[in-house]
């Protein structure tokens, strides 16, 4: 289990570092452009345009999305790890959690 | 600017304490945002959920490296927790501010009282490292220098409690660790350090399911969420390092007192009485 634990830790750390980097980039852009209007609602559809125009809002939203995706990636990592170790019951549990998380996202978007 | 610093400080405190006792920090973050910084309650819950994800990710990465986390138990309980969070996320976003404040305040009183008497938990029975069963595990206790093995008992109760914890998470924007840790310790006979690490591992996924709903409903305010999250990351990293050095009993009592005070304020605000 120790190998699986360390592999999962690396997935979590990688996602966290990427999220923090994006959030810090947004802060740097905010400080560098005083007077820029603050965005009070995270909008996924604005990410590409904001990133291309170096607007902080896009970096903030993308960073928060990456943070939100990290636990999901962690579950996916566990799913593959349990499969590799032939721990079928726990790989089934991991798969079920992934399905429920996907359902949560789908229902949220549909609502 | 001062507003941003205070938001980050709120996240820092929540992340530090939360990571040390297996909570996400939402129980501190939400009342601090709502009562002292006048953040609208649904935006506060959304920011708190993201903060819980950050606490969980940061702390569990550290605990996984120390092999404290029981990933088999964690993934098993997560099936019920995520189910509860899915339902709670939809119900909570449709409730009024006063109702949410009343629920939250009541839950915090229970948590504070529980944490205040936490020293009365029963020690789990000692088992050999190789006799831990399907869900049990073992870890190296740095304090005693010995390997600690344990079996997991009363799984059905644990699954039921995880469902409730997930529901509460979705309703109130917390990780549910305040219910998961005592259930694992007192009912499932998991040692405290392993329970804290496993709870930290689970609450991120619990909060993620609810946070996704708030995100898609446009309730995430980056002006609030970003400083809180960054503060949480720093605090949770520090907290996971401190947890091995500070007696959890001391920390628990301090947190219980703070939570009780905040709970009273939340309950009063739910009936329209402001204490500021």
Residues from chain A that touch B208, judged by Cβ atoms under 8 A, are: 68, 71-72, 101
Report the alpha-carbon angle B56-B62-B67, nearest 5.
110
The token duo for B72 is 């088999």
pLDDT in tens, A51-108: 888 888 899 999 999 999 999 999 999 999 999 989 999 999 999 999 988 887 787 6
pLDDT of residue B276: 42
Structure confidence at residue A1 as a pLDDT band (50, 70, 90): low
**B17 vs chain A: nearest CA distance in angstroms?**
19
Chain-wide mean pLDDT for chain B? 80
Q: Are B54 and A67 in contact (CB < 8 Å)?
A: yes
pLDDT in tens, B105-149: 787 787 677 766 665 554 555 665 566 677 888 777 766 667 778
Say how far apart CA A57 and CA B225 lie, in whole Å.
Answer: 12
- The more confident residue out of A104 and B155 is B155
Say how far apart CA B3 and CA A56 lie, in whole Å.
Answer: 18
- Global pTM reads 0.84
Q: Residue A96: name the closest of B78, B90, B60 by CA.
A: B78
Q: Residue A105: name the closest of B86, B24, B218 by CA.
A: B86
- Within an 8 Å CB–CB cutoff, is residue A46 touching chain B? no
Q: Using CB atoms, which residue from A15, A87, A108 is nearest to B216?
A: A108
What percent of chain B clears pLDDT 70, i.e. is strictly above it?
Answer: 77
Q: Are B212 and A104 in contact (CB < 8 Å)?
A: yes
Q: Are B85 and A63 in contact (CB < 8 Å)?
A: no
How many cross-chain Cβ pairs, A to B, lie less than 8 Å apart?
Answer: 157
- Model confidence at B91: pLDDT above 60: yes
Q: Are A16 and B218 in contact (CB < 8 Å)?
A: no
Q: Residue B105: name the closest of B55, B35, B48 by CA.
A: B35
């Amino acid at each position: 289990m120790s190998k699986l634990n360390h592999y999962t830790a690396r997935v979590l750390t990688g996602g966290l570092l990427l999220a923090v980097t994006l959030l810090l980039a947004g802060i740097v852009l905010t400080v560098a452009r005083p007077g820029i209007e603050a965005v009070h609602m995270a909008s996924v559809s604005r990410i590409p345009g904001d990133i291309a125009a170096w607007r902080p809002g896009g970096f903030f939203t993308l960073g928060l999305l990456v943070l939100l995706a990290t636990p999901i990636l962690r579950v996916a990592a566990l799913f593959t790890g349990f499969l590799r170790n032939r721990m079928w019951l726990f790989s089934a549990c991991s798969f079920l959690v992934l399905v429920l998380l996907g359902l949560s996202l789908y229902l949220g978007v549909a609502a | 600017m001062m507003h941003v610093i205070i938001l980050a400080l709120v996240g820092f405190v929540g992340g530090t304490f939360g990571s040390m006792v297996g909570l996400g920090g939402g129980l501190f973050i939400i009342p601090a945002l709502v009562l002292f910084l006048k953040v609208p309650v649904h935006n506060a819950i959304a920011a708190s959920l993201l903060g819980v994800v950050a606490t969980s990710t940061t702390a569990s990465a550290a605990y996984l490296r120390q092999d404290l986390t029981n990933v088999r138990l964690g993934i098993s309980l997560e099936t019920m927790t995520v189910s509860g969070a899915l339902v709670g996320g939809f119900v909570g976003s449709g409730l009024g501010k006063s109702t949410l404040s009343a629920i939250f305040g009541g839950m915090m009183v229970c948590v504070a009282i529980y944490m205040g008497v936490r020293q009365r938990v029963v020690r789990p029975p000692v088992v050999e490292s190789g006799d831990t069963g399907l869900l049990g595990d073992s870890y190296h206790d740095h304090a005693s220098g010995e390997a600690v093995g344990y079996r997991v008992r009363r799984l059905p109760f644990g699954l039921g409690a995880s469902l409730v914890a997930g529901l509460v998470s979705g309703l109130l924007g917390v990780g549910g660790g305040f219910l998961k840790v005592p259930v694992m310790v007192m009912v499932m006979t998991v040692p405290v350090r392993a329970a804290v690490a496993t709870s930290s591992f689970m609450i991120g996924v619990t909060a993620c399911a609810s946070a996704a709903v708030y995100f898609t409903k446009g309730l995430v305010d980056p002006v609030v969420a970003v400083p809180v999250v960054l503060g949480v990351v720093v605090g949770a990293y520090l907290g996971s390092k401190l947890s091995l050095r500070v007696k959890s009993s001391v920390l628990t009592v301090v947190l219980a007192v703070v939570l009780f005070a905040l709970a009273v304020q939340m309950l009063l605000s739910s009936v329209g009485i402001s204490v500021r």
